[in-house]
Structures are given as structure tokens and as C-alpha cells.
Amino acid sequence: MSPTFSFPYYQNRPHVPIVLEYGNRRQRALPLLDSGADYSLFHKQFALDLGLTWSEGEQRSFDTAYTTNLAVREFQLSLDLEGSRFPAPVCFAEIPDLFHRPLLGRAGIFDKFRITFSEQEQLVEIEPIN
Amino acid sequence: MIGTAIHLARSTRQVYYEEAFILTHMTKIPVLTDAIQTKHAGEQGAVVNGKFVAFGKSLQELYAKAKAKGYKRDQVMIVPIPRPNVSYI
């Protein structure tokens, strides 16, 4: 049986701890777990701090709930969610608000875990799928 | 092994396996107080073992302040400090 990780909501929202890895650099973060987002999205500062070369990221354009053609750069990173390590695409953009609103979206992540949101208990539970 | 708690310490985080791996608690999620949120909204917080230890308007500033307090980069979890009373869509 796989372990289930249970995290209380942070600020009344489901956030989960994740480690972004690139080379020998690691970054621990607590992004919002967003089942409505196709991709994970962090501020550009996170990419530069990890040592990523901005120009080497794949240029992409996203539509969001409130804007269109948002320019992002996509990188393939190694992620670590409480000991489960896996590769996943992570996007970065230079939007000021994104600095304090990082998102963990579905691509490369939601297919690897059974995820349960409990609004009543203010908990998010994550079970790796073997 | 049902009923047996195995306690593993992994650098900065505590790992508890309980009841035959049914429920596991790992990284501690911090609690954001009104006072911290009012003072540091829009910044990032450095969290170590579930506690805020430093704040910064950039990651560079955040890591520098955490380092000045004796924490290593790998110990620090970067936690956003949202503005108070703001809803997301």
C-alpha cells in the first residue's frame, strides 16, 4: 500500500510542498495545487535562482481566466513530492503577482497521484500511484 | 507493521509512518498569522520546520536573510504570503 500524505490547507487553500530540481540546485516551495491549471507556473525568479538559462526554455503562450497570450517559458524539471521523484514540465513567467501565487498544475503531476480535496476538513491528501 | 510508528528524520523534515503506511505526515505546513500577513503580504516567507524564519521581496533577499539566521538553502521552503482578504479566480 502506498503512503498517503495529508496536508492542511494553507490560507484556506490547498497547497502542497514540492521540490524543484535542476542539476545540483534544489528549491523547496509551497505552491497552490490547482486542478484547473493545465501546467505548473512559477515566477521567472524561481527559474533564474535554479540556474536555468531563460533563453533555453520552450516559448509557449497560455490563456488564463483573466488574460490571453501570456508568454511563458517551459522547462523539463525533476520534481520531488515527499519522496516521489518524477520529471514534469514547469513553466515560468514574469508576472509580478505570480511571485506570491505560484501554481502546481496538472501536467506531469496529477497522473502520478491520487489526489483528494476535502474542503470540509481543509485537507488535501495525496497518494502516489504505483 | 500495524500499530508501530517508525520515525525517520530526513534533514529538515520529519517523517512519520503510522498504521502500516496508511497515513504519513511529512513537511510541516506553516500557519500564517494575521500579523505576519499584514506586515509581509506580497513577499515570500522562508519556512523551516513549519515556522517562518525570514521574509523577502525577492528569492535572493529571502535566502540571504535565512542564511544570516543560520539556515541552509536546502532547509528553506519558499512560502508565498498572499494579500489579506483577496480571493482567487
Interface membership of B58 toward A (CB under 8 Å): yes
| Residues of chain B neighbouring A4 (CB-CB closer than 8 A) | 22-24
Cross-chain residue pair A102–B80, CB shorter than 8 Å? yes
| Residues of chain B neighbouring A9 (CB-CB closer than 8 A) | 29
Q: What is the pLDDT of residues B61-86, one digit of tens each?
A: 999 999 999 999 999 999 999 888 77
What does the domain layout of chain A look like in residue ranges? 5-128
| Residues of chain B neighbouring A3 (CB-CB closer than 8 A) | 17, 21-24
Q: What is the pLDDT of residues A71-126, one digit of tens each?
A: 999 999 999 999 999 999 999 999 888 888 899 999 999 999 999 999 999 999 99
Superfamily of domain A5-128: Acid Proteases (2.40.70.10)
ipTM value of the model? 0.90
Q: CA B2, CA B14: separation in Å to the nearest integer?
A: 20
Contacts with A49 (C-beta within 8 Å, 6 or more apart), sequence order: A25, A27, B59, B60, B63
Provide the b/e sequence for B23-62 (b: ≥16 CB within 10 Å): ebbbbbbbebeeebbeebbebbbbbbeeebbbbbeebeeb
